[in-house]
């Protein structure tokens, strides 16, 4: 049983604490991701990590028998999901989750200042954060390739949804900070459930299972840090609003990806989101990630300072 070391992500923080935590996050993120490659929407350390995976590819021993069932459904679900194999449902869910992420970050990238024009520390943090998200889409793409799906295209959403994603980052911070934080939290919750599904669905393909876990770990470690960082944008009232947004936001988002309800427990994901306090995460992830100081218990904070 894990010893409680951390507090709820919904723990209150003072303005002073949040200010210090932005400074601390900025130091962390530069070491963690390396140099920002603005033109390529990439980061030097992340690029090296992806290259290592690509240079040592792992593929299914038994290829997917009917890849058409993926290609027919991965952009829009046309079949009854109950007729699809668990692995196809899993891969469609991964693609659709990543596709939303990709559409959201493309829109945000275009309206946030590039690093040369960033004045506030928060803007610099957000720029690197977005570059990390582009790296996640590349890692998701590598997951699909690992399962033999080489023909995947990253397709825009419907014009209406694209418009919504385009307008969202233009709204003022006090409106977008709260849903942006809950979206990051939803990401970590989804990835933790996904990780456990790899064990169930890929029981006969241990090499691919382990490769998918390794690729997902790279994403989840960033997302744990994003959860803390986006939480740090929010004051005492906003954090209560965030709590009340968990259920409707998760419910609506996953309603749009019907595959998820077939293979995952959305109600449990909501409970996990509301209870999120970093304590269930393995140490090897925590060691490479970032947690706000006010979510650490006193003994844990001292340990970090030592």
**144 contacts 94 by C-beta, under 8 angstroms:** yes
Task: Tell me which residue has its CB nearest to Fe ion.
Answer: 226
Contacts of 298 (CB under 8 A, 6+ apart): none
H helices, E strands: number in the chain:
13, 2
Query: Where are the alpha helices (H) located in the chain, listed in sequence order?
Result: 15-33, 44-55, 67-73, 86-111, 121-146, 159-167, 173-201, 206-231, 236-255, 258-263, 266-274, 283-288, 298-305
| CB-nearer residue toward Fe ion: 84 or 197 | 197
CB of 72 to Fe ion, least distance (A): 27
CB of 125 to Fe ion, least distance (A): 12
| CB-nearer residue toward Fe ion: 69 or 220 | 220
| CB-nearer residue toward Fe ion: 74 or 140 | 140
CB of 207 to Fe ion, least distance (A): 25
CB of 33 to Fe ion, least distance (A): 12
Q: Which residues bind Fe ion (CB under 5 A)?
A: 133, 136, 184, 223, 226
Give the max Cα distance, the chain: 57
| CB-nearer residue toward Fe ion: 84 or 108 | 108
User: Do you know the residue count of the chain?
Assistant: 306
| CB-nearer residue toward Fe ion: 84 or 246 | 246
CB of 299 to Fe ion, least distance (A): 29
């Amino acid at each position: 049983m894990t010893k409680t070391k951390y507090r709820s992500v919904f723990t209150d923080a003072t303005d002073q604490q949040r200010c210090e935590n932005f400074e601390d996050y900025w130091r962390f993120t530069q070491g963690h991701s390396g140099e920002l490659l603005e033109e390529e929407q990439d980061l030097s350390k992340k690029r090296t990590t992806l290259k290592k995976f690509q240079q040592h590819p792992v593929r299914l021993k038994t290829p997917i028998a009917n890849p058409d069932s993926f290609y027919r459904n991965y952009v829009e679900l046309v079949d009854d999901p109950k007729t699809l194999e668990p692995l196809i449902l899993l891969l469609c869910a991964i693609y659709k989750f990543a596709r939303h992420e990709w559409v959201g970050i493309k829109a945000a990238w275009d309206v946030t200042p590039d690093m040369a024009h960033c004045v506030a520390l928060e803007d610099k943090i957000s720029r690197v954060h977005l570059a990390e998200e582009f790296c996640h889409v590349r890692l998701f793409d590598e997951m699909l390739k690992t399962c033999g799906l080489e023909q995947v295209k990253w397709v825009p959403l419907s014009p209406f949804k694209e418009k919504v994603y385009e307008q969202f980052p233009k709204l003022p911070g006090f409106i977008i900070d709260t849903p942006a934080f809950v979206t990051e939290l939803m990401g970590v919750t989804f990835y933790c459930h996904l990780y456990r599904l790899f064990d169930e669905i890929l029981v006969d393909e241990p090499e691919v299972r382990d490769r998918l876990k390794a690729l997902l770990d790279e994403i989840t470690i960033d997302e744990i840090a994003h959860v803390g960082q986006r939480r740090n944008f929010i004051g005492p009232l906003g954090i209560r609003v965030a709590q009340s947004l968990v259920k409707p936001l998760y419910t609506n988002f996953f309603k749009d990806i019907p595959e998820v309800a077939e293979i995952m427990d959305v109600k449990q994901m909501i409970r996990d989101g509301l209870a999120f306090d970093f304590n269930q995460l393995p140490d090897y992830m925590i060691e490479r990630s970032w947690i706000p100081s006010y979510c650490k218990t006193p003994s844990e904070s001292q340990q970090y300072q030592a």
